[in-house]
Amino acid sequence: MTNLTPASREQKIQRGLKKRHRAERRFRIYGASAIIFGLMCVFLLFADIISKGHKAFLLTYINLEVVYDQDALGVDDPADAIQMSSGDFHGVVKAGLRNRFLDVNGRKNKRELYSIISNGAGYELRDSLKDKPTLLNKTIKVWLIADDDIDTYYKSLGDKTGPFKGRMTDNKEVWLQELMRSGDVETRFNFSFFSQGDSREPELAGIRGAAMGSFYTLVITIFLAFPLGVAAAVYLEEFAPRNRWTDLIEVNINNLAAVPSIIFGLLGLAVFINFFHVPRSVPLVGGLVLTLMTLPTIIISSRAAIKSVPPSIREAAIGVGASPMQVVLHHVLPLAMPGMLTGAIIGMARALGETAPLLMIGMVAFIVDIPNGFTDPATALPVQIFLWADSPERAFVEKTSAAIMVLLAFLVVMNTFAVVLRKRLERRWS
């Protein structure tokens, strides 16, 4: 102990205080800047995706006069399904284009002209004739989907760097200018993006097939992983004796949670497809694989939730004569449920965004049909993003970003649901 006069002690404390206050301020600034950095990254991500993807929600249409000519179509009865399916509706579109641009001559030029309207336009005409048989032999003006080259060019006309030409030719530009002058080109909201499956033609490709595939996969996953995970967690936490075996199980669960997801894909391929002969590429097998992947996460979060139930509640229940099962069912599970559900939904969100294991079990295939059940071939949203990002057509760039937006929307909805659920189920105890 040195001898300090009150004055010098006061001085020393004051000097130390200033230093401490500076350190406090610095400490807070570190935290705040970490948050600002994180928010900036999120903002950049969203800004980039939205700026690239928002145009995918619009689609370019061309107004064209077409004749539902009985002879050209080869259809005399619109109610006849066979006639309708073999009818040459694309020929009608081609005829409409020829009539619109009468000065186009030569096979090459004509083929170029035909390519400004999407291949899917013929099917649109067929559907409208099926709905309205009286259209037969009538001449009407219809809005038809433009080809993706036209679509990309038209939507990028206002860009600072000039329109994206890509595979546009001078001829096509001239024709498009002419159509625009007469007001026969417009963009509309792209409903088919949300109602169609995948397609090789970007203007026809939709997200619905992948979204339904993800939905069916996740249904399997949640209905298997949640009950299994909760049952395992309850047993380990409430009933299992503490010994070498349970320690071993615990270590293994923690290790499984850290196993790269593609390994689970290989496991699913070996066990479910090769051994149990579950059909490949279907949501059923995808759900099983994702169950294996999410199970450790759900067990760990459920155990944490069960641990956080105050022991006094258990004692109270035992004290009035509840059996161990009643203690769990009446008190521990209801109190742990918010935490367990939050863990489960976060696990589901991870499963929703998982691509690698699905690649191994064939859910990476090009599938046009929208799956209608658990055993229909399907892909999933993240796989669809991967597939589109891999496609050469320029129009798939915006489709990719739009699909990412849909996936993110799914995730935001799921996480919001988790937060709301937790808030509603949470009960206070003293």
- Site for other proteins contains 424 (CB under 8 A): no
- The DSSP line for 158-205 is T-TT----TT--HHHHHHHHHHHHTT-EEEEE-THHHH----SSGGG-
Contacts with 206 (C-beta within 8 Å, 6 or more apart), sequence order: 192, 193, 194, 195, 196, 197, 198, 199
Does residue 316 touch other proteins according to CB under 8 A?
A: yes
Exposure b/e, 193-225, CB count within 10 A at least 16 = b: beebbbbeebbbbbbbbbbbbbbbbbebbbebb
Cβ proximity to other proteins: between 65 and 238 the closer is: 238
Residue 319 lies near other proteins (rule: CB under 8 A): yes
Alpha helices in 235-310 (DSSP H): 244-257, 261-268, 283-307
- Residue 312 C-beta: closest distance to other proteins, Å: 4
Residue 323 sits in the site that holds other proteins (CB under 8 A):
yes
Least distance between other proteins and beta carbon 342 (Å): 18
* Of the candidates 260, 210, 264, the residue with the CA atom closest to the CA atom of residue 407: 210
Q: Of residues 242, 277, 423, 424, which one binds other proteins by CB under 8 A?
A: 242
- 160 binds other proteins, rule: CB under 8 A: no
Stretch that binds other proteins, among 28-36, 132-140, 317-325, 350-358 (CB under 8 A): 317-325
- Characterize the bridge pairing of strands 185-189 and 139-145: unpaired
Binding string, residues 271-310; x marks residues near other proteins by CB under 8 A:
---------------------------------------x
Binding-site size, other proteins (CB under 8 A): 23
Structure tokens at 34: 């970490």
Output the smallest distance, CB 317 to other proteins, in A: 7
Of residues 3, 105, 320, 392, which one binds other proteins by CB under 8 A? Answer: 320
CA of 320: how far to CAs of 79, 108, 129, 328, in Å?
74, 90, 74, 14
Cβ 423 to other proteins, closest distance in Å? 15
Residues in contact with 30: Cβ distance below 8 Å, sequence separation at least 6, in sequence order = none
Q: How far is the CB of 304 from other proteins (least distance, A)?
A: 19
Stretch that binds other proteins, among 200-208, 268-276, 293-301, 324-332 (CB under 8 A): 324-332
Return the residues of window 326-355 that contact other proteins according to CB under 8 A.
326, 330-331, 335
Q: How many angstroms separate the CA atoms of 261 and 284, rounded? A: 17
In the complex, which residues of this chain contact other proteins (CB under 8 A)?
Answer: 241-242, 310, 312-323, 326, 330-331, 335, 427-430
